[in-house]
């Protein structure tokens, strides 16, 4: 398991600067540890433990790799447990854990290769966003070296042709930060959409459709896993100007890992929504990838679901007792309008927002009728 790490250590003999970012840091070692195949819970508790342990002991930067042995759902710290279809997860035997980092519920499975970089927060940049960009830019270089062609796009996603290939997140404890990434070798979009608890089933089709178009590789990835790990280690070591050190044993953090095993799976921690920030939410939103999301507004008298792709509304589903019966869906409206324009015009007023949407729908329907008459 450690053979690829030794090759990576030997290969880091030059100092290379990331093409997009130049980083000045002190000369310390980057310890590299491959945990291999781990339990679903351990794929979360290990990196939490590393972040806390390195902060408490000044252990130094660590790059770790692992792959979860089976499927589970990971819920962000400040998101509601009610967003998950827990009944379905229970029926399918899919455990739910709540991570300390942010973000919505995500389905994790064995077809995802995890990498986690834990460093002092100030080692890369004083800006958390810039630090994440530095790490992802180096990882994208490593992907390309290993036959996974991609780029770090303008939305901050590692993607190819608009399709997100790598999930990512970040967490800080004290003076240390962990950037977590997972290479999506395959993406089960039917199950990913099914585990979400949505207020209207029509919304699920929007979510499923956008996931199939914008998440995961279009075809199976072909790469050698040992080469991928080696290239990620080399690329990060070179980008951060850190020599690599192979680490075979991490007994020091075992007690911390056990602590997070208990914390992240604790029923009260997972299900409690006490930590949620109390603020009125006009819409429910499902983020598919940066720049792509589903916007839902469901009330007693009307229901609206919008697919938004890089600022443009690409699909509208609506139902309103006072206007029409049944569900009407418009895909790729010829009268396109930026979601930002609609939100700005409504100025946070729900009724005004609804009117903007209905005006857009009516324009689209009138245009369709005129085209039909002309034909």
| Per-residue model confidence as pLDDT tens digits over 267-282 | 999 998 766 654 445 5
The answer to whether residues 303 and 339 belong to one domain is yes
H helix or E strand, kind and range, residue 73: strand 72-75
Rounded percentage of the chain residues whose pLDDT exceeds 90: 52
Q: Within a domain: residue 289?
A: no
**Structural domain includes residue 292:** no
For residues 180 and 317, membership in a common domain is answered with no
pLDDT value, residue 14: 32
- Indicate whether 332 belongs to any domain: yes
Mean pLDDT of the 127-156 span? 94
pTM of the model: 0.83
Per-residue pLDDT band at 332 (split at 50, 70, 90): low
Decide which of 18 and 294 is more confident.
294
Structure confidence at residue 20 as a pLDDT band (50, 70, 90): very low
284: in domain: no
* Confidence class for position 173, pLDDT limits 50, 70, 90: confident
Over its C-alpha atoms, the chain yields an Rg (Å, rounded) of: 23
Instruction: Please indicate whether residue 54 or residue 143 has the higher confidence score (pLDDT).
Output: 143
Residue 283 lies in a domain: no
Q: Which residue has the higher pLDDT, 218 or 334?
A: 218
Distances (CA, A) of 105 to 3, 101, 181, 313: 35, 11, 15, 24
- Give me the chain's average pLDDT, please: 83
Strands 106-108 and 72-75 turn out to be antiparallel
**Model confidence band, residue 235 (pLDDT cutoffs 50, 70, 90):** very high
- pLDDT confidence tier of residue 19, bands split at 50, 70 and 90: very low
Do 214 and 331 belong together in one domain?
Answer: no
Residue 203 pLDDT > 50: yes
Looking at the fold, whether 156 and 62 belong to one and the same domain comes out as: yes
**Better-predicted residue by pLDDT, 168 or 173:** 168
Mean local confidence (pLDDT), 247-274: 89
In the chain, the percentage of residues whose pLDDT exceeds 70 is 80
Backbone φ and ψ for 181, nearest 5 degrees, come out as -135, 155
317-356: b (≥16 Cβ within 10 Å) or e:
bbbbeeeeeeeeebeebebebebeebbeebeeeeeebbeb
Whether 253 and 344 share a structural domain: no
Give the residue from 271, 287, 317 where a domain finishes.
271
Answer yes or no: do 23 and 135 share one domain.
yes
8 within some domain = yes
For residues 181 and 267, state if they share a domain. yes
Domain that holds residue 368: 299-374
Domain count of the fold of the chain: 2
Domain boundary among 227, 254, 271: 271
60 and 12 in one domain? yes
Q: What is the mean pLDDT of residues 195-207?
A: 92
CATH of the domain at 44: 3.30.930.10
Q: Are residues 79 and 174 in the same domain?
A: yes
pLDDT of res. 349: 74
* 265 shares a domain with 191: yes
Instruction: Kindly tell me if the per-residue pLDDT of 362 is higher than 50.
Output: yes
Q: Measure the CA–CA gap between 269 and 97, rounded to whole angstroms.
A: 9
Domain shared by 131 and 254, yes or no: yes
Q: Does one domain contain both 26 and 144?
A: yes
Residue located via tokens 């050698």: 224
């Amino acid at each position: 398991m450690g053979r690829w790490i030794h090759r990576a250590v030997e290969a880091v003999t030059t100092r290379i600067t990331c093409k997009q970012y130049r980083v000045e840091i002190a000369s310390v070692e980057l310890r590299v540890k491959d945990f291999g195949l781990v339990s679903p819970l351990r794929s979360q508790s290990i990196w939490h433990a590393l972040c806390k342990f390195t902060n408490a002991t000044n252990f130094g930067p660590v790059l770790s790799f692992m792959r979860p042995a089976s499927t589970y759902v990971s819920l962000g710290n400040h998101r509601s447990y009610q967003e998950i279809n827990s009944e379905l997860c229970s029926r399918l035997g899919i455990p739910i854990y709540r991570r300390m980092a942010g973000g919505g519920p995500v389905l994790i499975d064995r077809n995802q290769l995890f990498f986690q970089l834990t460093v002092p927060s100030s080692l890369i940049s004083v800006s958390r966003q810039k630090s994440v960009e530095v790490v992802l830019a180096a990882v994208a270089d490593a992907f390309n070296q290993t036959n996974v062609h991609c780029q770090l796009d303008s939305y901050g996603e590692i993607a190819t042709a608009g399709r997100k290939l790598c999930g990512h997140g970040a967490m800080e404890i004290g003076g240390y930060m962990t950037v977590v990434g997972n290479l999506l070798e395959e993406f089960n979009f039917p199950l990913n959409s099914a585990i979400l608890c949505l207020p209207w089933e029509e919304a699920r089709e929007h979510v499923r459709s956008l996931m199939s178009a914008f998440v995961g590789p279009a075809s199976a990835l072909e790469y050698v896993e040992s080469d991928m790990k080696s290239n990620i280690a080399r690329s990060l070591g070179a980008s951060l100007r850190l020599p690599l050190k192979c680490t075979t044993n991490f007994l020091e953090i075992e007690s911390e890992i056990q602590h997070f095993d208990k914390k992240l799976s604790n029923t009260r921690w997972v299900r409690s929504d006490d930590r949620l920030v109390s603020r009125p939410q006009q819409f429910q939103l499902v983020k598919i990838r940066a720049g792509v999301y589903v916007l839902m507004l469901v009330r007693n008298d009307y229901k609206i679901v919008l697919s938004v792709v890089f600022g443009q509304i690409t699909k509208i589903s609506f139902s309103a007792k006072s206007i029409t019966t049944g569900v009407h869906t418009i895909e790729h409206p010829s009268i396109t309008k930026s979601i930002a324009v609609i939100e700005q015009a409504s100025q946070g007023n729900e009724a005004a927002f609804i009117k903007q949407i209905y005006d857009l729908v009516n324009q689209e329907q009138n245009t369709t009728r005129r085209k039909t008459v002309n034909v």
